[in-house]
Structure 1
């Protein structure tokens, strides 16, 4: 009887201990994450874990103990040929040589540019004098039409008594008005001249 009671008490204690352990575990971690947290190697569960990138990551983390087939970590011969055809990867010495040549060309271009600037700087006084002389020449050789237009603008501004920008839309209206008045004045002057001639003929 006593033996049965002891066995029953032991069973009850074991069950209570397991229930207590289950209640104490509040991490809510999945079995996979519990293995990782305890320092173990999780099993392969998903399809993406069997891809080459995942294999490489797994092998880099756990080494040979990961169970990854080492031959699948490297690209195939066809993939290497494709990469070489596309030129995605180049040898370091080749890139270094190209970089040095590029830097050399840049340096030579900079030296040539400085030499050109020094040469132009020596020519600057004569070039400036030539440019200023050309400006003076342009002022002297203004087109007669342009001079006439400038005179016309001044006459209109003096006629109306105030300055106005030639680009102003009202300026065109004033120009037409001035031209109409000038035509009318010229017509009247011509009529007066004809009348004077007739009068002179009648007097004779």
Structure 2
């Protein structure tokens, strides 16, 4: 081929190619759109594969989405994900990014009716009545507290007297115990003097004589108490007689 003819042939080929690419026939446009769609899908697939490889945590898809503040599942995985309650929860947590229609968040007529019936049974009183009842309860509690504080104050005032009474009772018991011990020792000594020789306290004769002495002692004490009581009565009678005169 002649070299001088080559530039003209190249220009002709380039012009024909440009004309072919710039044609507006439907077949060519559809072919170009198909190519663009396929390229876009390939790019998206590659990006998804890259994103998957970036996940070094080995978390499941749902957990990975939750960690990154996204909805766990893009598509429902069970019947629970189709319920109104679940979709309301998703919208409440992720907002418009959840892809849920906000109208689902409004209660239906049946739900409103059911809620009103529940509140009528669970909360039969009006707000004013509940406030009055709460105020009355607080008043009663305050009165109970004040009464308890008054009782404590009165008991605290009597504490010194009660301590004295308790100490007196303890002293009296100690004195009675010591008197009983001294009385027992005195009776044992009398029994020993009665026999005139040393005798084992566990001996039967010793025990019999000791019981006899104790019985006599009780009789004497009873007689002494009776005489003391008679003296008190006589003194009271004499006092009344003097008062009458």
Coarse TM-score class (shorter-chain normalised): 0.3 to 0.5
TM norm structure 1? 0.44
Larger Rg: 2
